[in-house]
Amino acid sequence: MGSERKLVLFIATSLDGYIARENGSLDWLYAVEGEGDNGFTEFYNTIDTLVMGKATYDHLMTLVEEFPHSDKTCYIFSRSEQREDKHVTFINEDISEFTRRLMAQSGSNIWLVGGGDLLDTFVKEKLVDEFIVTISPIILGKGVPLFKQDNPEIELELIEQRRFGQFVQLHYLTKK
């Protein structure tokens, strides 16, 4: 691609690999003792763009009064909704093609926020350059899985591990 711009997954998961309860709740995540903001601000300063699925966006907007990432460019992938919004742009086109065009543009890294369906598309297309996964010390038993089935094999290189209170963060680069 000729660009240093990377697509980075920055996400938290339960020890058994779930990113949310079946109903989308993240209550289990907020109950864990972390340290500061668990590295979020440091990561956030490395990006200028966010991509997320419509369900993740809708869930986020139930938690806040105002969109919290208005200082960044944000694209919401939606199969149906195409409305005007001052903070986000709704995208209803091929996810892979749009993302490849976005990655070829100049800028900072791109944060793949989630959710599970969108991440599945990115993994199957091998578009994720870095995986920053924070593990929460809980076993949920069921929920929305971090990775769905039938993914291609992707080799990773661990470049850093950090502890934030009871959380452990693993940072991997995708081997190309």
Which tokens belong to 70?
A: 């208005």
Q: Does 44 score more than 60 pLDDT?
A: yes
Note the pLDDT tens digit of each residue in 137-147. Answer: 999 999 999 99
Distance, in Å, from the CA atom of 53 to the CA atom of 117, rounded to the nearest integer, reads 8
Instruction: Decide: helix, strand or coil at residue 117.
Output: helix
Quote the pLDDT of residue 3: 53
Q: At what angle do helices 116-124 and 95-104 cross, to 10 degrees?
A: 70
Note the pLDDT tens digit of each residue in 113-136. Answer: 988 899 999 999 999 999 999 999
Which of 22, 13, 15, 27 lies closest to 139, judged by CA? 15
The architecture CATH gives domain 7-174: 3-Layer(aba) Sandwich (3.40)
Model confidence at 1, pLDDT cuts 50, 70, 90, reads very low
Distance, in Å, from the CA atom of 107 to the CA atom of 156, rounded to the nearest integer, reads 24
Q: Does 42 score more than 50 pLDDT?
A: yes
CA R_g for the chain: 16
